C-alpha cells in the first residue's frame, strides 16, 4: 500500500513539471503593460495562479474512540463556498492573489489590470479524504469550482456570491502529503457555456497554444471529450502543508475543526493530440502483452 501511494505521488510531481503555459482573454482591455499574449484584451503568458483560502472541515470518528486517527473520513469546504465563509472577514483571504509570473513593468507579462478591474476566485464544499496514520490526509474526491467577476468592487459591497460567475470545475481524483507540501490533482470539466463575461462564454476565458494555434480551454476540452480523453485535461494544486487544525467540537460521532489558512499555486496540463495517441498505443501495447502472458 505504501508503495502504491509513493508511486502515485511521484506521478503527481511529474505532472506539475509538465505544466502548460496559458493566458486569460477577458475580451476587454482593462489596461496594464503591453506584454500581452494575444492582443490588448489578454494577459501575458502565465505558468500558474497563486491563491490563498480558508477551509472548514469535519472528521467522522469511524471507530468511535474519540480520537482523530487512521481511517477517519474528513470532509472539507473552502474558498467562496466554504461553510464558514463571510464576505466581511474572509473575502481578501479567499481568491487568486496573483498571476504568475508577476507583471514587472514593461518586461513581465501583462495582467490586464487584474485585481483592480476583475478577479478570479474558487470554492468547494465536498472535498473528501481519509486521515493517514501520520496525521496527514489522502484526498480522493471533490469539486473545486473556478469563478470570475468583472465587478470586484460590487462584489465586496454587495457581499453576495451572485456577482461571481462559474468558469469551469476541477474534479479531484487524488491528493496527498509529499513532505514539504500537499498535492491535489484531477481534471477540468463543466465549462460554462451559458453565462457571458464581456460578451463571450464564461468558460472560454482561459487559453493556450494547442495544435499550433491559440485555443480556449473550453474548445480543447470539447476536442478531447469527443476523443474519449476528457480526463487527460489535468490540473495540479501545490499548497503548503499544515497539520490538521485544532478540534473545536465533538458530538460523539463527528469532530468539528477550527478554520484553517492555506496558500499555494495551481497549474494546468494540456496534452497534445500526439501525446494522447502515444498514450493510447502504450495502453494498447500493455493490454497485448498481458494477453500474451496469459496465453503462455
- DSSP assignment of 224-250 equals HHHTT-GGGSEEEEEE---PPPPEEEE
- pLDDT of residue 275 exceeding 70, the answer is no
State how far Cα 233 lies from the chain centre. Answer: 12
Higher-scoring residue by pLDDT: 158, 23: 23
Measured CA to CA, the distance from residue 222 to residue 273 in angstroms comes to 13
The confidence score (pLDDT) of residue 273 equals 62
pLDDT(8) > 50:
no
Tell me the mean pLDDT in the region 10-39: 81
Q: Is the pLDDT of residue 5 over 50?
A: no
> Confidence band (pLDDT; 50, 70, 90) for 277?
very low
List pLDDT tens digits, range 9-19.
Answer: 444 444 444 79
In the chain, domain spans:
2-295
Residue 13's pLDDT is 45
User: C-alpha grid cell for residue 126?
Assistant: 465536498
Mean pLDDT, the chain, as a whole number? 87
Q: Is the pLDDT of residue 2 over 60?
A: no
pLDDT at 157: 77
Mean pLDDT to the nearest integer, 194-200:
97
Whether residue 101 is preceded by a cis peptide bond, meaning omega within 30 degrees of 0, is: yes
C-alpha cell at 192: 460554462
Q: What pLDDT does residue 10 have?
A: 43
More confident site: 227 or 142? 142
Q: Label residue 274 by pLDDT band (50, 70, 90).
A: low
Contact 83, 74 (CB under 8 A): no
DSSP label of 180: S
Strand partners, 208: 215
pLDDT over 70 for what percent of the chain? 86
pLDDT for the residue numbered 162: 86
Residue range 123-176, pLDDT digits in tens: 999 999 999 998 899 999 999 999 999 988 788 777 788 889 999 999 999 999
Amino acid at each position: 500500500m505504501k508503495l502504491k501511494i509513493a508511486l502515485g505521488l511521484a506521478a503527481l510531481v511529474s505532472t506539475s513539471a509538465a505544466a502548460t503555459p496559458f493566458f486569460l482573454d477577458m475580451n476587454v482591455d482593462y489596461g496594464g503593460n503591453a506584454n500581452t499574449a494575444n492582443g490588448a484584451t489578454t494577459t501575458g503568458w502565465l505558468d500558474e495562479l497563486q491563491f490563498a483560502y480558508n477551509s472548514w472541515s469535519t472528521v467522522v470518528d469511524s471507530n468511535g474512540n474519540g480520537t482523530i486517527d487512521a481511517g477517519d473520513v474528513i470532509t472539507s469546504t473552502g474558498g467562496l463556498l466554504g461553510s464558514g465563509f463571510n464576505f466581511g472577514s474572509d473575502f481578501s483571504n479567499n481568491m487568486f492573489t496573483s498571476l504568475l509570473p508577476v507583471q514587472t513593468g514593461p518586461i513581465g507579462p501583462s495582467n490586464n489590470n487584474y485585481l483592480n478591474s476583475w478577479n478570479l476566485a474558487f470554492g468547494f464544499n465536498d472535498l473528501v479524504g481519509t486521515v493517514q496514520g501520520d496525521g496527514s490526509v489522502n484526498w480522493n474526491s471533490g469539486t473545486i469550482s473556478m469563478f470570475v467577476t468583472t465587478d470586484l468592487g460590487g462584489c465586496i459591497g454587495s457581499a453576495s456570491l451572485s456577482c461571481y460567475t462559474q468558469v469551469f470545475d476541477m474534479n479531484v481524483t487524488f491528493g496527498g502529503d509529499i513532505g514539504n507540501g500537499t498535492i491535489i490533482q484531477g481534471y477540468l470539466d463543466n465549462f460554462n457555456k451559458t453565462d457571458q463575461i464581456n460578451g463571450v462564454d464564461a468558460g472560454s476565458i482561459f487559453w493556450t497554444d494547442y495544435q499550433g494555434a491559440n485555443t480556449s480551454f473550453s474548445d480543447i476540452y470539447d476536442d478531447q471529450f469527443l476523443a474519449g480523453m476528457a480526463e487527460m485535461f489535468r490540473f495540479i494544486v501545490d499548497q503548503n502543508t499544515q497539520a490538521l487544525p485544532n478540534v473545536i467540537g465533538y458530538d460523539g460521532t463527528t469532530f468539528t475543526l477550527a478554520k484553517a489558512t492555506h496558500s499555494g499555486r495551481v497549474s494546468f496540463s494540456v496534452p497534445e493530440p500526439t501525446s494522447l495517441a502515444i498514450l493510447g498505443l502504450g495502453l494498447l501495447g500493455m493490454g497485448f502483452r498481458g494477453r500474451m502472458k496469459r496465453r503462455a
